[in-house]
Amino acid sequence: MRVLILGGDGYLGWPTAMAFAMKGHEVAAMDNYLRRNIARETCSEALTPNPNLIERARAFQPLTGKKVEVVIGDCADYRVLSEVFNKFQPEVVIHYAEQPSAPYSMMGYEQARVTLANNLTATFNVIQAVMSSAPQCHIIKLGTMGEYGTPNIDIEEGWLDIEHNGRKDKFLFPRQAGSLYHTTKVLDTDLLWFYVRTFGLRVTDLMQGPVYGLSTPEADMDERLIPNFHYDDIFGTVVNRFLTQAVAGVPLTVYGKGGQTRGYLNLIDTLQCVELAMLNPAGKGELRILNQFVELFSVNQIADKVKKVGDGMGLNVKIESIANPRKEREEHYYNAAHSGLKELGLKPHPMTDEVVAGMLERIIRYRERIDRGKIMPRVRWS
Ligand SMILES: NC(=O)c1ccc[n+]([C@@H]2O[C@H](COP(=O)([O-])OP(=O)(O)OC[C@H]3O[C@@H](n4cnc5c(N)ncnc54)[C@H](O)[C@@H]3O)[C@@H](O)[C@H]2O)c1
C-alpha cells in the first residue's frame, strides 16, 4: 500500500516508517521537527543521539534495501500538505503529527496556543487533503486513552448506547481530558466525526495508552535507527522515565499517591495495532474507535516492577512519592474495554521482567548522557 506517515520523525512515526517499508509498503514520512525544536527550547532533548529524519532514511536504505521517502514540511500548512497528497496519492495516512506533551501544553499561554493551533490545524488539513486529493484514503489517527479521563463507570471503545426518557441513541463516549493536550485530542475526534458523518470519510481513531520501549526489529539493526527516547518531565512517558531514573540512581518520582491507573503497551504492539488497522480499514462513513493498550498498571505497580528488576541487576532502586504537579485523581475506578484490536489479531507483548531488564540494559548503554536536571517536574497544572 502507499502509506503516508505524518510525524514520521517521532517516537512512534520513525519505527512505523521502517516497519512498513520492511513489509514492502511504499512509505513516505513527513515531519517538521516540531518535537526536536520544542525539546531544544525546553531542555528536554532525548537520551538517544538521533540523526535527523533525512539522515535516518539514508542510513536505513543500504542496510535493508528499502526506501522511506522523506518530506520535511508542516502539516499545519495546507499548501504543503495538499501538495504531498497530490503527489503521493496515499491509500492510507497515519496521522501522528501532533504536539503530544501534556506538561508542555500546560506551561503557559504560548505553549497552549501552539498545541491547540498545531494539533487542530494538522487534523483539519489532513481531512481537507483527503477530501480533495484522495477521497478513498483511510485516515488512521492517533488519539489517546486520556480523552476519556478517569470516569467512575466502565470505559467503552469510543461509543456509548444511551437510553433517555424512554428513547435510545448511540453517542461518542463522554470525554473529560485532564490537560490541554488531551483536550486537543478530544476536539480532533469531534472534528473527524463531523466530517465522517457528513462527507463519508473512512477513519480509525486509535485511543492509545502510554507507550514504552525502544526496541523494534529495525531499530535494533543500527544505533542510528533507534527511536527518540525521552526521559524528561515534558516528553518522557512514565515507564521510560522510571527506567532512566533507575539507571541514573535517582529515586523513581511517583506523583502523589501513585494510584493513577492507565492502559500501557510496548512500542512493538503499537506497530502491530497500526498495521492491523491499516490492513482492516474502516468502512466508508465509519468512525471506528479502538482502545489501544495491552495491560493496566497503576503508577505504583510500574514503580514496583522497575524496582524489582532493577534491584536484581544491582541498581539499588529507590521510590519516592513527590507532590503531584498535575490535577488528576490519584485513586480511582478504571476499567476500559479493549477487545477490538485483539479481534483484529493483536498478539500482545506483556511487560515481563525480561522486557523491563532488556530496556534497562539498553538505557545503561547511554548512562553517560543522562542529565539529572531533566528529571524533576518543571510544570505545574495550577
Ligand atoms: N507516545 C505515546 O505514549 C502516545 C500515547 C498516546 C497517544 N500518542 C499520540 O501518538 C502520536 C505520536 O506520538 P509520539 O510519542 O511519536 O510523539 P512525537 O512527538 O515523538 O512524534 C510526533 C511527531 O510529529 C511531528 N509533528 C508535530 N506537528 C507537526 C506538524 N504540524 N507537521 C509535521 N510534523 C509535525 C513532530 O515533530 C514529531 O516528530 C501523537 O499524536 C500522540 O499524541 C502517543
pLDDT tens-digit readout, 237-292: 999 999 999 999 999 999 999 999 999 999 999 999 999 999 999 999 999 999 99
Sign of CA dihedral 12, 17, 18, 24: positive
Report the 3 state secondary structure along 282-324.
Answer: CCCCEEEEEEECCEEEEHHHHHHHHHHHHHHCCCCCCEEEECC
Predicted local distance difference test score (pLDDT) of residue 195: 98
Helix axes 353-364, 299-312, angle to 10 degrees: 70
Predicted local distance difference test score (pLDDT) of residue 365: 95
Does residue 105's CB lie within 6 angstroms of at least one atom of ligand 1? no
Predicted local distance difference test score (pLDDT) of residue 80: 98
Single-letter residue type at 189: T
The cell 501522528 sits on which residue? 96
Q: In the structure grid, which three cell numbers stand for residue 381, read together?
A: 497544572
pLDDT band for position 382 (cuts 50, 70, 90): confident
**Separation of 7 CA from ligand 1 center, angstroms?**
6
CA–CA distance, 215 with 226 (Å, rounded to integer):
7
CA–CA distance, 254 with 260 (Å, rounded to integer):
10
Residue 225: partners with Cβ closer than 8 Å, 6 or more residues away:
14, 18, 56, 59, 60, 63, 218, 219
Residues in the chain: 382
What are the beta bridge partners of residue 310? none
133 in Cβ contact with 82 (< 8 Å)? yes
Predicted local distance difference test score (pLDDT) of residue 182: 98
Query: E-assigned strands of 326-379?
Result: none
325 in Cβ contact with 250 (< 8 Å)? no
Does residue 11's CB lie within 6 angstroms of at least one atom of ligand 1? yes
CA–CA distance, 226 with 218 (Å, rounded to integer):
8
Tell me the per-residue pLDDT of 171-228, one tens digit each, with 9 for 90 and over: 999 999 999 999 999 999 999 999 999 999 999 999 999 999 999 999 999 999 999 9
Predicted local distance difference test score (pLDDT) of residue 52: 98
Percentage of the chain exceeding pLDDT 90: 99
CA–CA distance, 368 with 357 (Å, rounded to integer):
19
Probe ligand 1: pick from 4, 11, 45, max atoms within 8 Å of CB? 11
Count CB neighbours of 9 within 10 A: 28
Name the helix (H) or strand (E) containing 161: strand 159-164
Does residue 10's CB lie within 6 angstroms of at least one atom of ligand 1? yes
- Catalytic residue set: 144, 181, 185
**Separation of 148 CA from ligand 1 center, angstroms?**
19
Does residue 351's CB lie within 6 angstroms of at least one atom of ligand 1? no
233 in Cβ contact with 268 (< 8 Å)? no
Tell me the per-residue pLDDT of 71-96, one tens digit each, with 9 for 90 and over: 999 999 999 999 999 999 999 999 99
Q: Which phi and psi (to 5°) does residue 186 adopt?
A: -60, -45
